[in-house]
Amino acid sequence: MSPDASPTECSRAGCRQVASQKVNWRNPRIHSADRVKVWLACGEHVEFLRDYLASRGFPVLVTGIDEGVDLVPENAP
């Protein structure tokens, strides 16, 4: 996130829309299931961000912006 970005701004490069969802993910080669990384997504970019991570073999779990996630299991949808 750039220094002047809003804490609820979409993580897609160049997007300045307000995020409505969280894309929770991890790299299973270096992180255990309880190490959750989060990208924020607006409605337009949530599928792009999820697909980008999933295509690299990363477990991904999309949730609402206010939902917390303690872990991203290997078989996350």
pLDDT per position as a tens digit, 29-74: 998 888 999 999 999 999 999 999 999 999 999 999 999 888 887 7
Domain-by-domain residue ranges, the chain? 21-64
pTM of the model: 0.84
Tell me the pLDDT band of 1, cut-offs 50, 70 and 90.
very low
* Residue scoring higher pLDDT (29 or 4): 29
Going 65 to 56 to 75 to 32, the CA torsion angle's sign is: negative
The answer to whether the CB of 38 falls within 8 A of the CB of 23 is yes
Q: Which residue has the tokens 């939902």?
A: 67
